[in-house]
Amino acid sequence: MIPQPRFLPLSAKEGKQMGIDQFDIILVSGDAYVDHPSFGTALIGRVLWDAGFTVGIIAQPDWKSTADFTALGAPRLFFGISSGNVDSMVNNFTPNLKRRSDDVYSPGRIPRRPDRATIVYTNRVHELFPGIPVVIGGIEASLRRFAHYDYWQDKVRQAILADAPTDLLAFGMAELQMVEIARRLATEEPVSSLRDIPGTAYRVDLAEWRSREKEGVVELPGYAEVSSDKVAYARAFALHYHEQEPVSGRPVAQPHPKTVVIQNPPARPLTTEELDHIYELPFSRLAHPSYREPVPALEPVQFSVTSHRGCFGACSFCALTHHQGRIIQSRSIASIVREVTRMTKMKAFRGIVQDVGGPTANMFGMSCPRWATAGPCHDKQCSPACPTLDTSHRQQCELLEALRAIPGVKRVFIGSGIRFDLVMADDSGYLPLICEHHVSGHLKVAPEHIARNVTRIMNKPGREMFDRFRKKFAALQEGKERRQYLLPYFMSGHPGCTIPDMVELAEYIRTNQLYTEQVQDFTPTPMSVSTCMYYTGLDPFTLKPVHVPRGHEKRIQRAMMQYRDPKNQELVAEGYRIAGKTPSAGPGSGSPSGDNPRASRQFAKWTGRREK
């Protein structure tokens, strides 16, 4: 077994220097190769190498040529293909469908990723290496494993397995699946027999599907039906949404014109010991030395730490339920301390741990006794109100205190967002602790909206909870010379949101002197509840109608979030007329801190923003 190298090889020459004539596995990615655990290709590559397999990487290949795809030769076992850390369509286009001019996952920000990268790369590999097994994965493939609404073409597309010439799809985080695939192919088991691996999807031809036993399989309305009938699409979404738990999930099948796509139940959650082992693999936390320009996506996460996976928040606009799941998988405090201690030995480390967290930073260590035996409840969402869910922040407080005590560490920040409803449900002293030691100038929270009907559809805490949190946070700022500020994330254009709702939100922001630095226009991405609502105009779980803002209305809603911009004044005025209000009673064009210019200047200092 060849020891883990400082960097996984990007060239045949690097492989030969390690004594490798043929790689066991070749990973193809739309990202530059950054050897950091936040980058999926590096993570999977390290895990496979740790399992005893040699891995080569083809990063950002030129899909218009064959040279990059053939540079490493043919792998002994299989190709693993991913669009990269992000969905290629989300990465390449703005919410307004304008093509982006740069890519932070590329050296020098130069775009090198094709649209629908997973399909493009898979077609190239299949053409050049017929007979070599191909496994697709990553966020793009994972969230396209059933027929899905495609915002960029404004239509329902087939499941990616029906479009890409691949053998298997590994969904979710995929370490267990990829190692199992490699081990079984290494025993010369044919890839066509690998149909029983949790966390994978595959396809069968129509004749086999008609003849096979279907007991225990959830059959969705087929592509022909969901692409022409929005009620059928909503029904199909609800059916597969409820099968995404590793303990209780059943196989799910969806017929397509030429094939049937079958998803196995999700892979089991990783244990604490398994997570510890993965994140303590010898990542260099650097971009590959062959790059002459920096990869911008590395800088904000280089000295960050993943403490856990999963999120039980189940926000409607987020697809994490379909990717990482609702079960929280936490690392041990000792392992995270060891990882940060190693970071302090790096020359570039300046004493600042940029972030300690996961999808939601303050879910670290939270658990429910049902998860191991029955999985999360089907008939209700996990929430602080549930008596069996442990929402104590005790373990995270212990973790943060342990990290502060490491020699060479000056500050430990929480850069990920936190759930303020969890903070309000716990009296462990978490908020005072993080305000004292772990918040720089601002604390990120994501109320997303404050109108009751919108937050209900988003599956977010309501205005009353956010108001309580704001007041508690403000009380902790009293007497401080250097005040901290909330940096709330808000969203416009979400299903269920009307123009009067946006006027209400804009007035709330002005009245409470909040800041709208982080504003997002809803973008329909595959396999989120909100995207299903956007396409169908229906709540998939009740089939009741939902208002969907589109076109000009969506532009007005966006303008309400940026009411200080003079370019938006006509749209803002139109929004007020539609809401039956007068602009003079609502937001104006003054400074973001209303009547407190000193606070405005201090906030600008924290955020690096210059007031005009």
Q: What is the mean pLDDT of residues 543-561?
A: 95
What is the average per-residue pLDDT within 98-113? Answer: 97
299-440 and 442-607 have identical folds: yes
Residues 351-365 have pLDDT tens digits of: 999 999 999 999 999
**Least confident among 121-135, 246-260, 561-575:** 561-575
pLDDT of 433 higher than 70: yes
What's domain 299-440's architecture?
2-Layer Sandwich (3.30)
Q: Does 177 score more than 80 pLDDT?
A: yes
pLDDT score of 597 more than 60: no
pLDDT value of position 593: 35
Does pLDDT of 174 surpass 50? yes
DSSP string for residues in 421-450: HHHHT--SSHHHHHHHHT--SEEEEEEE--
The DSSP-derived string for 457-517 is HHT---HHHHHHHHHHHHHTTTT-SS--EEEEEEEES-TT--HHHHHHHHHHHHHTT---S
Answer with the residue of higher pLDDT: 379 or 121: 121
> What's the mean pLDDT in 545-574?
92
Residue written as tokens 């936390």? 285
Helix axes 394-404, 430-437, angle to 10 degrees: 20
pLDDT of residue 286: 98
Average the pLDDT over 554-569 and give the result.
Answer: 90
Q: Residue 283 is which amino acid?
A: F
Contact 390, 341 (CB under 8 A): no
Q: What is the mean pLDDT of residues 25-41?
A: 98
CATH hierarchy code of domain 12-263: 3.40.50.280
Q: What is the pLDDT of residue 291?
A: 97
245 Cβ partners below 8 Å, 6+ apart? 265, 266, 325, 326, 327, 375, 376, 378
- Of the candidate ranges 79-83, 372-376, 392-396, 458-462, the one whose mean pLDDT is the lowest: 372-376
Give dist(CA 564, CA 470) in Å, integer.
Answer: 23
What pLDDT is stored for residue 517 in this prediction? 60
426/393: higher pLDDT: 393
Average pLDDT over residues 381-385: 87
> Of the ranges 68-82, 182-196, 366-380, 575-589, which one carries the lowest mean pLDDT score?
575-589
Residue 591 has pLDDT above 70, yes or no: no
Query: 442-607, what's its fold?
Result: Transcription Regulator spoIIAA (3.30.750)
CB-based burial of residue 453 (10 Å sphere; 0-12 exposed, 13-18 middle, 19+ buried)?
Answer: middle
CB-based contact 331:275 (threshold 8 Å): yes
Out of 275-284, 384-393, 507-516, 548-557, pick the least confident.
507-516
- The gap between the terminal CA atoms of the chain, to the nearest Å, is 60
Q: What mean pLDDT, rounded, does the chain reach?
A: 92
598 has a pLDDT exceeding 50: no
Instruction: Write out the two tokens for 455.
Output: 């937050």
Mean pLDDT, residues 353-378 taken together: 93
Q: What is the mean pLDDT of residues 235-264?
A: 96
Report the pLDDT value the prediction gives residue 440, as an integer from 0 to 100: 83
Q: What amino acid occupies position 523?
A: T
The dihedrals phi and psi of 604, each to the nearest 5 degrees, come to: -60, -35
* Strands lying side by side in the sheet with 442-448: 442-448, 485-492, 518-521
Please determine, for residue 213, whether its predicted confidence score (pLDDT) is greater than 70.
yes
How many helices (H) does the chain have, and how many strands (E)? 24, 22
Of residues 87 and 321, more confidence is placed in 87
**Is residue 92 helix, strand or coil?**
helix
Whole-angstrom distance, CA of residue 45 vs CA of residue 169: 17
pLDDT cut 70: percent of the chain above it: 95
* Per-residue confidence (pLDDT) for residue 605, from 0 to 100: 44
pTM of the full structure? 0.93
Residue bearing tokens 């994140």 = 279
Domain borders along the chain are: 12-263, 299-440, 442-607
How many residues are present in the chain? 612
Burial class (CB in 10 A: 0-12, 13-18, 19+), 145: buried
> Using one digit for the tens of pLDDT, what is the confidence trace for 118-173?
999 999 999 999 999 999 999 999 999 999 999 999 999 999 999 999 999 999 99
